[in-house]
């Protein structure tokens, strides 16, 4: 269930309570692809007075004008539906408290801790110089955001001061006593030095991994804070650089007038910030375990050529004359189907035409140009001998072939005029035999074998 707060829509609704809540929101009038924003909200309810409202709005407008990279830039603010909120640009980050919990000893290297403190004090120096009344009042490990680039940004401007005012109006504690200043606890005058005291307490914990002001309960911690009772760095971490130990001690003075200004602190820490490049890079994998893939540059290529959309321009000398049309190939001659059926019509008689017997004619076929021969003596095809009663192979199952030793000559038929008029069973007639009968007998003997020689001779002699 979404919730609308001012001109922003929150996918996750906000809850009540006096603590700050951070949500991801989108502008209500933007499209579905609009970028998200970071929204920090504080429940104010009916306890918001006119004085607290005016101070919140003035502090938010002043913080929105800060240009320091050490401050989280505010892009919008307002009060709606019982919540006071500020809007900033989202980014991958961890709070300093979360980073310290990830460290093995709960502390950072002295050079890295000093560099992060320099980022924060740069934002404080600009705010104090431009807006003396703009006091953060809540500098601590939970309000310092460290991005994937290893740089610190101070968040919570306007909202922390409003939360402390509401807490006092409700009779509660103004915040975590371990990072408050003595003047806030004693209801004294809040000045620019208040933020520097809180910065000293934060730097103390980043260097040692332990809080400067502690106690068995919040009241005991507040008493130690007002009295300035803590263990010096000379005893806790004597191996730290001397200038850092002296700077932390000056920042934790109970007397606010004895503390150094933000500009002086920035000068003392500037040397550490310049030499902390490699140390800052070590925080990147911790804050952003899965970095986005590298951006591959897009190589622009020439647009695809569209031959159909191109404008054809004539050359300087004009287009060449068109070539002469090519003559079509001549059509192949139509074959004479009639001549193909008579391949030997104009040729001389061949040897096959002299001795090849005529083709048998079926009853359903048309008559050929030759008359069937009348056999003078039937032959038994099984033995090629004359078929008579004395032949042991003679029987009804023996087929008989009508043959004649002397073919009857027939005149040659004229060639047909077309292929359609030629009967399928007609073959070219054979010419008159040019060889004597004995020669034909010799050829038949060679063809049929010695077995039928006697039968052929008997048929010839009988005729």
Query: How confident is the model at residue 403, as a pLDDT?
Result: 46
Taking Cα atoms as reference points, which of 69, 427, 122, 68 lies closest to residue 261? 122
End-to-end CA distance of the chain: 128
Of the pLDDT bands very low, low, confident and very high (cuts 50, 70, 90), residue 404 is: very low
Cβ(74)–Cβ(64) below 8 Å: yes
Cβ(402)–Cβ(374) below 8 Å: yes
Average pLDDT, the chain: 77
d(Cα 372, Cα 361) in Å, to the nearest integer?
Answer: 8
What phi, psi does 268 have (nearest 5°)? -70, -30
What phi, psi does 96 have (nearest 5°)? -60, -35
Cα–Cα distances (Å) from 418 to 333, 342, 366, in that order, read 17, 11, 18
Q: What share of the chain is helix, strand, coil (3-state, %, to 5)?
A: 35, 10, 55
Residue with tokens 């550490």: 272
Name the DSSP class of 321. P
CB within 8 A of 16, min separation 6: which ones? 43, 45
Question: What pTM value is reported for the model?
Answer: 0.62
Cβ of 218: how many Cβ atoms within 10 Å?
Answer: 12
Taking Cα atoms as reference points, which of 172, 165, 116 lies closest to residue 143? 116
Q: What is the pLDDT of residues 224-269, one digit of tens each?
A: 999 999 999 999 999 999 999 999 999 999 999 999 999 999 999 9
Of the pLDDT bands very low, low, confident and very high (cuts 50, 70, 90), residue 31 is: confident
Where in the chain are all domains bearing CATH 1.10.510.10?
3-287
Q: What is the pLDDT of residues 40-84, one digit of tens each?
A: 999 988 888 999 999 999 999 999 999 999 999 999 999 998 899
- Output the furthest CA–CA distance in the chain (Å, rounded): 168
Angle at 144 between CA 180 and CA 87, to 5 degrees: 105
Tell me which of 1.20.1300.10, 3.40.50.1010, 3.90.650.10, 1.10.510.10 is the CATH number of domain 3-287.
1.10.510.10
Instruction: Kindly tell me the burial class for residue 53, based on how many C-beta atoms sit within 10 Å of its own C-beta (0-12, 13-18, 19 or more).
Output: middle
d(Cα 74, Cα 39) in Å, to the nearest integer?
Answer: 10
Of the pLDDT bands very low, low, confident and very high (cuts 50, 70, 90), residue 436 is: low
């Amino acid at each position: 269930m979404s919730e609308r707060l001012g001109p922003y829509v929150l996918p996750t609704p906000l809850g009540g309570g006096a603590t700050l809540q951070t949500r991801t929101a989108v502008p209500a009038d933007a499209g579905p692809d609009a970028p998200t924003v970071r929204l920090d909200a504080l429940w104010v309810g009916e306890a918001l007075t006119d004085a607290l409202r005016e101070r919140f709005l003035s502090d938010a407008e002043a913080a929105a004008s800060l240009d320091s990279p050490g401050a989280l830039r505010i892009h919008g603010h307002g009060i709606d539906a019982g919540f006071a909120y500020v809007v900033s640009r989202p980014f991958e980050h961890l709070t300093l408290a979360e980073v310290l919990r990830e460290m093995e000893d709960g502390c950072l290297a002295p050079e890295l801790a000093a560099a992060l403190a320099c980022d924060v004090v740069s934002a404080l120096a600009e705010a104090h110089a431009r807006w003396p009344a703009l006091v953060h009042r809540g500098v601590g490990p939970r309000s310092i955001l460290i991005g994937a680039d290893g740089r610190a940004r101070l968040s919570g401007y306007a909202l922390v001061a409003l939360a402390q005012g509401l807490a006092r109006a409700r009779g509660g504690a103004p915040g975590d006593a371990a990072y408050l200043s003595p003047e806030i606890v004693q209801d004294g005058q809040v000045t620019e030095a208040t933020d520097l005291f809180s910065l000293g307490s934060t730097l103390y914990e980043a260097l040692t991994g332990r809080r400067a002001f502690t106690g068995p309960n919040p009241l005991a911690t507040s008493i130690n804070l007002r009295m300035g009772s803590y263990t010096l760095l000379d005893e806790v971490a004597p191996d730290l650089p001397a200038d850092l130990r002296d700077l932390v001690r000056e920042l934790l003075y109970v007397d606010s007038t004895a503390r150094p200004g933000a500009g002086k602190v920035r000068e003392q820490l500037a040397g550490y910030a310049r030499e902390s490049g490699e140390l800052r890079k070590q925080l990147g994998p911790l804050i952003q375990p899965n970095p986005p893939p590298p951006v591959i540059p897009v190589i622009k290529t020439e647009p695809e050529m569209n031959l159909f959309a191109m404008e054809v321009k004539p050359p300087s000398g004009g287009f060449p004359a068109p070539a002469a049309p090519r003559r079509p190939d001549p059509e192949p001659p139509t074959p004479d189907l009639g001549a193909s059926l008579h391949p030997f019509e104009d040729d001389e008689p061949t040897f096959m035409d002299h001795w090849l017997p005529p083709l048998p004619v079926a009853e359903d076929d048309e008559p050929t140009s030759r008359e069937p021969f009348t056999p003078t003596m039937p032959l038994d095809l099984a033995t090629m001998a004359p078929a008579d009663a004395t032949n042991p192979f003679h029987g009804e199952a023996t087929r008989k072939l009508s043959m004649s030793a002397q073919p009857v000559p027939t005149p040659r038929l004229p060639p047909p005029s077309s292929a359609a008029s030629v009967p399928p069973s007609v073959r070219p007639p054979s010419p008159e035999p040019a060889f004597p009968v004995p020669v034909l007998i010799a050829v038949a003997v060679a063809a049929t074998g010695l077995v039928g020689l006697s039968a052929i001779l008997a048929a010839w002699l009988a005729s």
